[in-house]
Structure 1
Amino acid sequence: MKRVFIIFLAVSICFGVASCHSLIEYRNEEEKDPINTDIYSSDEVLDKGVVKGGRLKLFSTVPDTLNPLLTDNFYVQQICRLIFESLIILDKAQQPVPVLCKNWEISSDGLEWTFNLRDDVKWHDDIPFTAEDVVFTLDIILKSDLSPYFKSSLQNIETFALIDKYKFSIFLKKPNSFTVEQMTFPIIPKHYYVGSNILDEAKNMAPVGTGPYRFVQFNEDKIMLSANTDWWNKEGNGAQPFEAPYIEEIEVRVYENVGDIEAAFMSKEVDLIYIEGIEYDRYMGRYDLTLKDFPGRNFEFIAFNTKNPILGDDAVRQAIALSIDRMKIIDEILPGKAVPSDIPVMPDSWIYDNNTASYMTDKDRAKDILSQSGWKEEKGMLYKRIEGRKRPLLLEITVNEENEIRNQIAQILAKQLEETGIKIEIITVKWDEQLKRVQSGDYEIAIMGCRVSPIPDISFLYSEAYLPSSPLPSPEAVYNIAGYDNYNVNTYIEGIFRENDFESRRIMFGNMKNLILDDVPYIGLFFYKNAMAYSKRIKGEINPYIWNLLNDITRWYIIEQ
């Protein structure tokens, strides 16, 4: 049985999500039967190039509001990304790309960030976009509890101020070189709410944005959007004969239940789905759709309790790292569905230096390290005297029983480690018990997972979290469960957050990663891949990545079948 998420997504400009990191469980669900691909015809139509027009069919559950700052509905958040825009978006490498802002300036102490905005943007009601709209949006996010989804990533902002019509500044509590990457929240219009309340239902159900699509109407079973013919970015790079967006209408069909989404996609009522999980291979072999996979945000890792008398020995952790064959684990359990990674940073990230050292499987070296550290074999078991006691090299791996994949990983790890002389006992517990054990330090080795944030911040796992957290942190928020403490790593973390030069940060990050790999407080396993599935009606440059799932949707086009 496998964990699978099937989620509708309709993103054109990808807003950032909260920066907090969360431990993830992955409950098992019923194994679904493979889709019978024989019943589908190819429905292939000759693509003669870009055409203007057509209607894209998307999906949502019943909306609570269409205000992107207020909604708790994931599907509505995605719809709003078609209507509203942010100051920046993240590219595939996690670098910031200006959208509503042109550029930014940073004070010498790193505490003041000034943003210069575009002066050619208009709201859908033809009112100019200005810095007052950004300040108004920040007021809603930071001075109320109405928008916790975005508030959690902006906790390092002390205050902010309007400078002039197209300029504003924010002032930070502590230096943060990733500040601009956190400016991905949607901007809403100040003028639209003059004389009314931000909670005004009538206004919130008829949104006005700056994005490539305008709201047209909402009734019980659909939301209609139309192309914004006055969009500031309609000419793009000028390489095509038509102005963007190419698709003229978007119909968002409203369903009562989330479970209706797969049936809607299968019956061609909607044109695309986002699959967060590992079951996208169920759609492979279908001739009537396009499938694109890419690394997701869910990272799996092995945590060591460094306060444990045996695991407090660097040599033991290094020997374990040298005994593990990650690619064999992936090939046996998740062939083609995961990307190996040493640390919780996306391998595509600009800051991730793939030239830095990584543990390769070497069981002979692992045995030598243990021998040099004083571990001696007696009757098939390795022993060493630690803290006055003769201790066997017998360790427990704790894993939550609901997660079949982690249980399979544990079984393979036990076999791989036994070849080096490290004996393993697998302990399966409920997820709540697993959390309780790692949070209290009552474990030896644990297989865990977390969802990484849009910025390459690893302080949460290898030190104390550098950035201020949300006032109401999740009980499953990730922190340094290994109890790891390295002065030089801590120094590098602070230096990276204070350094605004990209190349200098990348070098420091690589040096820090080498220190971490030497100490081995954790062993990174992999990132799960996610996927997007599309109807063959959709053409154009379809290149999704985790920070912008519908990358460049404004330059997609529809061919009728």
Structure 2
Amino acid sequence: MGEHKTSYREIEHFTDIEAWKIDREISGKLYRIIKMLHDEKKYWLGSHKSKAVVLFLISLLLSLNLTRCERVQRAREKGKVVIGTYLQPAPLDPLMTRGTISAALVDLLYNSPVRLSERFEPVPELAESWEIRGDGVRWILHLRRGVLFHDGEEFGAEDVVFTYKTLKRLRGDEFENLKEIRKIDRYTVEITLKQADVVSLLYWLRTPIVSRRSYPGAEGIKAVGTGPFKLKEWMADDRIVFESNGDYFEGEPEVQQIVVRIYEGYEALLSAFLQGQVDVPYLIDAADVRLVEDNPKFQVSRVPNFHYYAVLFNLRDPLFKGKKMRRALCYAVDREELLRTALMGRGTLVYSPFSSPIWRDTSEAQGYDPGTAERLLKELGWRRDAADGLFKRGGKPLGFELVYYSGNPLLKKIATSLWLQFQRFGIKVELASMEARDLLERRLRPLNYQLALFYLNAGSDPDFASRFLASAQIGDYNFSGYTNQAVDSLFAIGRRTFDMEKRKEIYRQIDMILRDERPMFPLVSGMGFVGASSRVKDLWPLRNEALLKSARYWKVKPGG
């Protein structure tokens, strides 16, 4: 028999293993053994006996190298994170997309001139620094150098100017105060406002910057940003693939690939997550957290929530016109009981309309104190009836109506808990639920109610609370009819104040006034949750940021 050289292909065919799927090093070891046997003419490749021997050798090598195969597989998995969603993404237009899964995905692709720190203070991102001139109407942005868009072009002043001019064209009302924006040089931009307003400007400066050459608009499947990830693939109704940006100015993310899988519905997403097919579901319901919170294969993170539940007093109603009655009712409510009974402990107590502690009065919060509540009511002439335990004045029991939106199940739970607490304390309450439109147009805006339970947005900036408290907002969002010239003036000064320490002092003064006058009574904030595989580390290092904005910090535990 002539000399015959055995190849990898021949071994694959001989063993009937399609494409082998074995590490090449293992194949090499197997090849050398078979060749040795062939050369020594101990076994011939065509015989049944030799087939059995070779198959035995394959099994042996596979078992000996199982650990190494696992390492290889883990290496392949390293750096890949699968995000699951049942929401159909819209085009990734960073200037128009809001409040959807697409808005979250934009965070993977784009950066803004500034972002907020964990203390909600502006810190540099694409802008290295900024100057404030002309009593706050002129801002000079000094841009970071060497930042590249995903197409390899360098980011610069022309891109910033293009972005804000496009924003003014697309969303004119929001940018009414923008008088002019111009390029000074390649890395410097001047923004001129019609009037000084730090709040709107800081909001604008957190808008993603797009490339003047590659802005996709509605064709968001071709998005080109400066962010930590690039858009690699978009398969409608199936998946979107992002890959890490090796040129990212803060360093390439450790996660090499993010795959967004699109599921038919929430139940399908939850099932895939529980089976380990999804690392980060976007998002799971709070009620389903119990399925994973005690399982070491998963982790649960609390979602920061700017929204909170509050009782609104109608200050035009004679019963609540004086602050002593409002303060008495606040002292009569046990927030911690609300948290336990209505939110099942999944939330936080709220004492201020301001979202961050840096804006709040630092004195001790006013909590549950039924003794003080009863004393204040006695000062108003209300006495507890020994027969039925109700507070009465002139033989008439103290009572009022509490209205709330019927479409929110949690509002109903909180309203019921408030009803029980007031009844127990000795105050009669009637609950009335209404549809949202009727509640707003027939009750809240015309101030045709006594007490209302409502869901308010604190926002990331303290000025957001002026929507509910400024005199100019009566008839719109100031549902209490609250007027206080000092508070109006302080809000106006706060909008024009650019020094952070001075701004803090201004809003602390407002908070102190509100604690005394009680036009509204903040109660609790519901807590959202993010569940994830435990293999994803550093899931949320900056808790004030959106979840996917933090993806640049994620690390992956291979094989976890």
Shorter-chain TM band = 0.7 to 0.9
Aligned: 1:447 with 2:468: no
Aligned: 1:394 with 2:402: no
Aligned: 1:192 with 2:200: no
Aligned residue in 2 for 1:165: 186
Aligned residue in 2 for 1:113: 139
Q: CA deviation at 1:435?
A: 2.6
- Amino acid across the alignment from 1:538: V
Aligned residue in 2 for 1:290: 299
Aligned: 1:273 with 2:281: yes
- The answer on whether the counterparts of 2:130 and 2:142 sit within 8 Å (CA) in structure 1 is yes
Closer, same or farther in 2 for the Cα pair 1:450/1:264, shift >3 Å? farther
- Equivalent of 1:223, from 240, 262, 269? 240
Which digits, 9 at most, give the CA deviation of each residue in 1:306-357, with x for residues without a partner?
10111112211111011111112112222431111122322x443234x234
Secondary structure, aligned partner of 1:448: strand
CA distance in 1 between counterparts of 2:436 and 2:241 reads 42
Aligned residue in 2 for 1:492: 490
CA distance in 1 between counterparts of 2:250 and 2:448 reads 55
Aligned residue in 1 for 2:112: 86
Aligned residue in 2 for 1:55: 80
Q: Which moved more, 1:272-281 or 1:91-100?
A: 272-281
Aligned residue in 1 for 2:262: 254
- The answer on whether the counterparts of 1:52 and 1:557 sit within 8 Å (CA) in structure 2 is no
Q: CA deviation at 1:492?
A: 1.5
So what's the TM-score if we normalise by structure 2? 0.78
Secondary structure, aligned partner of 2:95: coil
- The answer on whether the counterparts of 1:273 and 1:533 sit within 8 Å (CA) in structure 2 is yes
Which digits, 9 at most, give the CA deviation of each residue in 1:104-129, with x for residues without a partner?
11124222222111112111122110
Aligned residue in 1 for 2:221: 205
> Is there any run of 5+ residues in structure 2 with no aligned partner, and where?
1-69
Aligned: 1:459 with 2:466: yes
Q: CA deviation at 1:199?
A: 4.5
CA distance in 1 between counterparts of 2:260 and 2:186 reads 35
Secondary structure, aligned partner of 1:453: coil
- The answer on whether the counterparts of 2:471 and 2:481 sit within 8 Å (CA) in structure 1 is no
Closer, same or farther in 2 for the Cα pair 1:63/1:334, shift >3 Å? closer
Q: CA deviation at 1:269?
A: 2.9
- The answer on whether the counterparts of 1:82 and 1:211 sit within 8 Å (CA) in structure 2 is yes
- The answer on whether the counterparts of 2:108 and 2:549 sit within 8 Å (CA) in structure 1 is no
- Equivalent of 1:135, from 144, 161, 164? 161
Secondary structure, aligned partner of 2:372: helix
Aligned residue in 2 for 1:430: 435
- The answer on whether the counterparts of 2:462 and 2:507 sit within 8 Å (CA) in structure 1 is no
Q: CA deviation at 1:275?
A: 4.0
Closer, same or farther in 2 for the Cα pair 1:52/1:103, shift >3 Å? farther
Q: CA deviation at 1:94?
A: 1.1
- The answer on whether the counterparts of 1:90 and 1:181 sit within 8 Å (CA) in structure 2 is no
Alignment of 1:413-424 (within 5 A): 413-424=418-429
Q: Which moved more, 1:174-183 or 1:523-532?
A: 174-183
- Amino acid across the alignment from 1:547: E
Closer, same or farther in 2 for the Cα pair 1:290/1:351, shift >3 Å? same
Secondary structure, aligned partner of 1:247: coil
Aligned residue in 1 for 2:63: none
Alignment of 1:13-162 (within 5 A): 53-60=78-85, 61-71=87-97, 74-145=100-171, 154-162=175-183
CA distance in 1 between counterparts of 2:249 and 2:445 reads 50
CA distance in 1 between counterparts of 2:479 and 2:513 reads 18
Q: CA deviation at 1:402?
A: 3.5
Q: Which moved more, 1:176-185 or 1:480-489?
A: 176-185
Closer, same or farther in 2 for the Cα pair 1:177/1:318, shift >3 Å? same
- Amino acid across the alignment from 2:164: L
Secondary structure, aligned partner of 1:142: helix
- Equivalent of 1:176, from 187, 193, 197? 197
> Is there any run of 5+ residues in structure 1 with no aligned partner, and where?
1-44, 146-150, 235-243, 467-476
Secondary structure, aligned partner of 1:192: coil
Q: CA deviation at 1:455?
A: 1.7
- Equivalent of 2:342, from 333, 350, 362? 333
Secondary structure, aligned partner of 2:130: strand
Aligned residue in 2 for 1:24: none
Aligned residue in 1 for 2:23: none
Q: CA deviation at 1:395?
A: 0.7
So what's the TM-score if we normalise by structure 1? 0.78
Closer, same or farther in 2 for the Cα pair 1:52/1:284, shift >3 Å? closer
Q: Which moved more, 1:426-435 or 1:96-105?
A: 426-435
Q: CA deviation at 1:143?
A: 1.2
Aligned residue in 2 for 1:483: 481
Aligned residue in 2 for 1:539: 537
CA distance in 2 between counterparts of 1:545 and 1:160 reads 32
- The answer on whether the counterparts of 2:415 and 2:431 sit within 8 Å (CA) in structure 1 is yes
- Equivalent of 2:551, from 540, 550, 553? 553
- The answer on whether the counterparts of 2:253 and 2:553 sit within 8 Å (CA) in structure 1 is yes
Q: Percent identity?
A: 25
Secondary structure, aligned partner of 1:408: helix
- Amino acid across the alignment from 2:419: A
- The answer on whether the counterparts of 2:402 and 2:430 sit within 8 Å (CA) in structure 1 is yes
**RCO higher in structure (CA 8 A, sep ≥6):** 1
- Amino acid across the alignment from 1:126: G
Q: How many residues align?
A: 479
- Amino acid across the alignment from 1:481: F
Q: CA deviation at 1:245?
A: 0.8
Closer, same or farther in 2 for the Cα pair 1:300/1:152, shift >3 Å? farther
- Equivalent of 2:373, from 366, 375, 380? 366
- The answer on whether the counterparts of 1:117 and 1:166 sit within 8 Å (CA) in structure 2 is yes
Please report the RMSD computed on the Cα atoms of aligned residues, expressed in angstroms. Answer: 3.0
Closer, same or farther in 2 for the Cα pair 1:208/1:412, shift >3 Å? closer
Closer, same or farther in 2 for the Cα pair 1:325/1:173, shift >3 Å? farther
CA distance in 1 between counterparts of 2:163 and 2:84 reads 27
CA distance in 1 between counterparts of 2:363 and 2:189 reads 39
- Amino acid across the alignment from 1:290: Q
Secondary structure, aligned partner of 2:259: strand
- Amino acid across the alignment from 1:446: A
Q: CA deviation at 1:101?
A: 0.5
Aligned residue in 2 for 1:11: none
Q: CA deviation at 1:130?
A: 0.6
CA distance in 2 between counterparts of 1:299 and 1:276 reads 20
Secondary structure, aligned partner of 2:512: helix
Q: CA deviation at 1:77?
A: 2.2
More helix by share: 2
Q: Which moved more, 1:104-113 or 1:544-553?
A: 544-553
CA distance in 2 between counterparts of 1:97 and 1:217 reads 32
Aligned: 1:351 with 2:359: yes
Q: CA deviation at 1:449?
A: 0.3
